[in-house]
Amino acid sequence: MQTEIKTETIRTLRNGVRLNFLRSAEIPPPEKFLSASELEKCSGFKIEKRKSDWLGGRYAAKTLLREILELPLSLCKIEITYDLFGRPVWRGGSGPHLISITHSGPFCAAAAKTEPCVFLGIDLEKAEPRVKPWYEDYFHKEELHLQVTSNRYPATIHPVTDYRSPATIHLATRLWTEKEALLKALGLGLKADPLDIKIGKEIQFSNAALKRYEELGRPEYLLETSRLETGYYLSAVAD
Ligand SMILES: CC(C)(COP(=O)(O)OP(=O)(O)OC[C@H]1O[C@@H](n2cnc3c(N)ncnc32)[C@H](O)[C@@H]1OP(=O)(O)O)[C@@H](O)C(=O)NCCC(=O)NCCS
């Protein structure tokens, strides 16, 4: 029984999502927390970064589930698999318990809710310059508008013209994490076109994103995004 452990890296977001945010390098050796089949999968990773990301996600998810669901289980017995849409789940309870995982740079994070949910996604990205085609491929023109404030005039909204300006980079990174979190909640990832989501005052789904949203029963959800001190953006969405 190890349920009394309180993990300092776990916090609760405003939308009720429980988040475990870690550095991938700061996790125990795989034998301490992977099941036999997970160890076998781990031995198949050829790229070291992919392996450490995968391990970080597993460790973050397992420690999170054990704490928030008060599981009287060793981490090796909490096995993370995927649902039919490719979303990570834990199947040890009464039904599959949805999880979401992200890794970026040295960080990894896992999210879950205490109660079962059908719509959950998180994404972490560093704010950094991107080439113009990236902006054109992933965003609607209406999404790329900046608010310009001045002491003398009321705030105005302008379309983005300089793709390298810090304001544009921050806006786009924020939007990108929001789209990816939503695409993970939909179980689509980049199998769907990011343009199937349009973020403005409201969020609009179209094409594959809308079809899946309807298949999931059009759940009501809350999307929360934060800018972290490390220069990263983190978005989390859940019903
Ligand atoms: C989901 C996706 C957009 C994430 O890409 P990313 O931003 O580079 O990576 P992140 O670190 O933020 O997220 C990776 C996690 O997303 C999760 N994920 C993968 N596919 C997912 C899906 N369809 N739905 C929800 N979550 C998914 C996984 O848990 C993965 O971590 P894991 O491999 O350690 O379990 C991308 O993996 C994708 O498009 N997947 C679906 C398409 C696919 O199957 N591609 C084959 C790749 S070889």
Distance CA 96, CA 82 (A): 9
- 91 vs 161 pLDDT, higher one: 91
- Domain residues of the chain, as ranges? 10-116, 125-228
Atom nearest to 88 CA in ligand 1 = 29
pLDDT of amino acid 5: 54
What residues does 230 pair with on adjacent strands? none
- Please tell me the distance between residue 187's alpha carbon and the centre of ligand 1 in angstroms: 9
Indicate whether residue 41 lines ligand 1 (CB < 6 A). no
CB 120 within 8 A of CB 238: yes
According to DSSP, residue 146 is labeled E
CB 73 within 8 A of CB 105: no
pLDDT of amino acid 55: 97
pLDDT of amino acid 2: 44
> Which residue puts its alpha carbon closest to atom 41 of ligand 1?
189
What is the per-residue pLDDT across 62-79, written as a single tens digit (0 to 9) for each?
A: 999 999 999 999 999 999
What is the per-residue pLDDT across 198-212, written as a single tens digit (0 to 9) for each?
A: 999 999 999 999 999
Indicate whether residue 180 lines ligand 1 (CB < 6 A). yes
Distance CA 25, CA 159 (A): 40
Distance CA 179, CA 184 (A): 9
- Please tell me the distance between residue 9's alpha carbon and the centre of ligand 1 in angstroms: 22
Indicate whether residue 60 lines ligand 1 (CB < 6 A). no
Indicate whether residue 81 lines ligand 1 (CB < 6 A). no
Superfamily of domain 10-116: 4'-phosphopantetheinyl transferase domain (3.90.470.20)
What is the per-residue pLDDT across 159-179, written as a single tens digit (0 to 9) for each?
A: 888 888 999 999 999 999 999
**CA distances for 65 relative to 77, 92, 114, 147, 207, angstroms:** 12, 11, 8, 40, 33
Distance CA 41, CA 136 (A): 37
Atom nearest to 187 CA in ligand 1 = 24
> Which residue puts its alpha carbon closest to atom 32 of ligand 1?
54
User: Domain 125-228: which CATH class?
Assistant: alpha beta
CB 109 within 8 A of CB 60: yes
Of 27, 58, 59, 102, the one to substitute when testing ligand 1's pocket (max ligand atoms within 8 A of C-beta) is 102
pTM of the complete model: 0.94
Q: Do domains 10-116 and 125-228 have the same CATH topology?
A: yes
* 46 CB-near residues (< 8 Å, 6+ apart): none
Atom nearest to 184 CA in ligand 1 = 25
DSSP string, 2-29: -TT---TTEEE-TTS-EEEEEEGGGS--
